[in-house]
């Protein structure tokens, strides 16, 4: 009996030892030359890293790159096959997130679904989000999207000088309506939008790579705020207050509306109701609070980036705008604005939307995954506790898939006047991979498509003119951080005619009447 017990201990131990020895004998994936001890810390750029990573991958002839940055193992994947093999086929071990002490412990952003480690709390968030934003459910909210799109058109007719701010207001309006059933047209609603923008700005600034040393040296989180060099503690305290207000203020307003029976269908209302009760137990309210705040923070700036990049592309290629005008004028009935029923008959507008996702993709390196166990892939050792990133920029600018990849060319998705389904849909990479793929991707594309169709149908989009009558070439810098998007640039957005302005106003009035 003792022998049996001894064997029961020794056999698994020997197997684990052999496996560990096998792993440690495997080579790491190819890596650029580094320095002793610090590895690639000083050769890794802090901006546009995806370009450098892609160059290194090409030089080394690999689609799986290894880096050592301040002692942290990093794996960069540069092909869809490798991303699918690891992040989807082995998703049970590749679905965690790296730990960021500044965000989670100091700033209070650990509520965010995007940052949550793979576990039960994350699963609860995703069940709630999928029930509301999944492919079968997202079409139920197209009327809300149409209302916010038409409101955007109305504001641009009145004032298009700072069109980026108007697009930002539209994105916030859409998500506040969908998540909380609130309307930014009211004084209270505008306050919710302002609070969200403050919180979102804090999240974006804090997400800039390498901003806080505490993320690399976690013990620094214990340094008191009054000590020299602890300015990050002050920032974290201030941002924590902003973020708490961001997630609690609209949530509490929605709960009050539910108590008075005055809550339109929205994520919070639905999730706190019978649908949510079926999905989870007594901690439902905390999960709904966090999941709703996560959806807003993930959706606003990404939408703004895609729409503004689309406008930039149309300025560079006025013939694309002209072709889209012709298609819309041919398909959309006189006296109407585009709607989702027109989508099958507007393949070139869809091609513009797809190219807008691809051309200046909003998350060049996606959101980092994390593997807590040792793994092997194609003879290479993937060290445990490695950060794993997909170079989405490289995938979406692959010359073999998208010839002339740095040009804005919606026609790459067309075969004559018919949408070309043989061209790889950029959605294979732009929403992420595996179990951490964007839960709101169906609804997001609906909003992007209708916004682009409506903007093109209602407006002429042209380069701004200087005092000498010379067109101003837009050449905006792109902000780097959690979201890659253009800074404001000069542009003229003018109604194509008075008839279009009247159509927009009539649509806005109709939405208001239907909501009464």
Instruction: Phi first, then psi: give them for residue 77, nearest 5 degrees.
Output: -100, 135
Confidence bin at 516 (pLDDT 50/70/90): low
Residue of higher predicted confidence among 277 and 478? 478
| Region of residue 416 (left: phi > 0; alpha: psi -120 to 50; beta: else) | left
- CA–CA gap between residue 487 and residue 475 (Å, rounded): 9
- Pick the closest to residue 410 from 479, 309, 493 (CA basis): 309
Which residues are within 8 A (CB) of 347 and not within 5 positions of it... i.e. 6 or more apart? 327, 414, 417, 418, 419
Q: How far apart are the first and last CA of the chain?
A: 79
Place of tokens 């992007």: 448
pLDDT of 13 reads 43
Tell me if 200 sits within 8 A of 171, measured CB to CB: no
Confidence bin at 276 (pLDDT 50/70/90): low
Burial class (CB in 10 A: 0-12, 13-18, 19+), 226: exposed
pLDDT of 195 reads 87
- CA–CA gap between residue 52 and residue 439 (Å, rounded): 30
pLDDT at residue 328 is higher than 90:
yes
- CA–CA gap between residue 57 and residue 140 (Å, rounded): 43
Ligand-binding site membership of 310 (annotated): no
Q: How high does pLDDT run on average in the chain?
A: 89
- CA–CA gap between residue 232 and residue 102 (Å, rounded): 8
Print the SS3 string covering 354-422. HHHHHHCCCCCCCCCEEECCCEEECCEEECCCEEEEECHHHHHCCCCCCCCCCCCCHHHHEECCEECCC
pLDDT at residue 5 is higher than 60:
no
pLDDT of 135 reads 75
pTM given for the model: 0.91
- Pick the closest to residue 456 from 257, 323, 359, 278 (CA basis): 323
Which residues are within 8 A (CB) of 387 and not within 5 positions of it... i.e. 6 or more apart? 72, 73, 74, 75, 98, 368, 369, 370
pLDDT of 11 reads 42
Over residues 31-46, the mean pLDDT reads 89
- CATH value of 93-363+397-515 in 3.30.465.10, 1.10.3720.10, 1.10.630.10, 3.40.190.10: 1.10.630.10
pLDDT of 274 reads 59
Q: How many residues does the chain have?
A: 516
Burial class (CB in 10 A: 0-12, 13-18, 19+), 513: exposed
- Pick the closest to residue 267 from 132, 158, 376, 461 (CA basis): 132
| pLDDT tens digits along 206-221 | 876 667 888 888 899 9
- Pick the closest to residue 436 from 65, 14, 119, 4 (CA basis): 119
How far is C-alpha 361 from the geometric centre of its chain's CA atoms?
A: 9
Tell me if 129 sits within 8 A of 291, measured CB to CB: yes
- CA–CA gap between residue 95 and residue 170 (Å, rounded): 32
Tokens of 339: 């709607």
- Cα pseudo-dihedral 325, 328, 333, 337, rounded to 10: -90
- Cβ–Cβ contacts within 10 Å for residue 378, how many? 10
Residue of higher predicted confidence among 276 and 221? 221
Which residues are within 8 A (CB) of 384 and not within 5 positions of it... i.e. 6 or more apart? 371, 372, 373, 374, 375
Tokens of 331: 């398909």
DSSP secondary structure code for residue 88 in this structure: I
DSSP secondary structure code for residue 114 in this structure: T
Residue of higher predicted confidence among 110 and 381? 381
- Cβ–Cβ contacts within 10 Å for residue 286, how many? 12
Tell me if 369 sits within 8 A of 436, measured CB to CB: yes
Locate the domains of the chain by residue range. Answer: 1-81+364-396, 93-363+397-515
């Amino acid at each position: 009996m003792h022998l049996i017990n001894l064997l029961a201990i020794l056999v698994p131990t020997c197997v684990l030892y052999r496996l560990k020895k096998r792993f440690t004998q495997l080579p790491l994936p190819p890596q650029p030359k580094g320095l002793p001890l610090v590895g690639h810390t000083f050769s890794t750029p802090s901006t546009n890293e995806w370009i450098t990573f892609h160059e290194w991958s090409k030089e080394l002839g690999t689609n799986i790159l290894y880096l050592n940055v301040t002692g942290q193992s990093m794996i960069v994947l540069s092909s869809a096959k490798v991303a699918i093999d690891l992040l989807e086929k082995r998703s049970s071990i590749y679905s965690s997130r790296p730990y960021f002490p500044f965000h989670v412990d100091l700033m209070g952003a650990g509520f965010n679904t995007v940052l949550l480690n793979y576990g039960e709390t994350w699963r609860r968030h995703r069940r709630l989000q999928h029930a509301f934003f999944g492919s079968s459910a997202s079409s139920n909210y197209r009327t809300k999207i149409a209302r916010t799109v038409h409101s955007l058109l109305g504001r641009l007719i009145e004032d298009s000088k700072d069109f980026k701010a108007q697009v930002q207001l539209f994105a916030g309006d859409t998500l506040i309506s969908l998540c909380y059933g609130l309307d930014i047209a009211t004084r209270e609603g505008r306050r919710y939008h302002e609070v969200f923008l403050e919180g979102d700005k804090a999240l974006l600034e804090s997400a800039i790579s390498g901003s806080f040393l505490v993320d690399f040296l976690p013990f620094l989180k214990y340094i008191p705020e009054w000590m020299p060099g602890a300015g990050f503690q002050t920032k974290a305290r201030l941002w924590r207050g902003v973020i708490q207000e961001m997630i609690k203020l609209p949530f509490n307003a929605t709960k009050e509306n539910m108590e008075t029976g005055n809550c339109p269908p929205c994520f919070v209302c639905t999730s706190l109701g019978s649908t949510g009760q079926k999905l989870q137990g007594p901690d439902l309210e905390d999960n709904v609070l966090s999941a709703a705040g996560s959806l807003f923070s993930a959706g606003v700036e990404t939408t703004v980036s895609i729409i503004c990049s689309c406008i930039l592309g149309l300025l560079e290629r006025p013939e694309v705008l002209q072709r889209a005008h012709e298609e819309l004028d041919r398909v959309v009935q006189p006296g109407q604005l585009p709607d989702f029923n027109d989508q099958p008959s507007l393949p070139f507008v869809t091609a513009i939307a797809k190219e807008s996702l691809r051309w200046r993709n909003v998350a060049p390196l996606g959101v980092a995954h994390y593997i807590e166990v040792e793994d092997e892939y194609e003879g290479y050792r993937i060290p445990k506790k490695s950060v794993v990133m997909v170079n989405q920029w490289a995938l979406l600018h692959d010359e073999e898939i998208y010839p002339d990849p740095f040009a804005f060319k919606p026609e790459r998705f067309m075969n004559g006047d018919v949408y070309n389904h043989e061209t790889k849909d950029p959605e294979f990479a732009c929403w992420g991979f595996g179990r951490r793929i964007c839960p709101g991707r169906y609804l997001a594309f609906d909003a992007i498509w209708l916004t682009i169709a409506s903007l093109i149908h209602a407006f002429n989009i042209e380069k701004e003119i200087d005092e000498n009558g010379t067109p101003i070439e837009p050449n905006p810098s792109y902000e780097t951080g959690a979201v890659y998007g253009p800074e404001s640039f000069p542009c003229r957005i003018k109604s194509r005619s008075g008839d279009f302005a009247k159509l927009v106003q009539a649509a806005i009035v109709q939405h208001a009447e239907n909501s009464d």
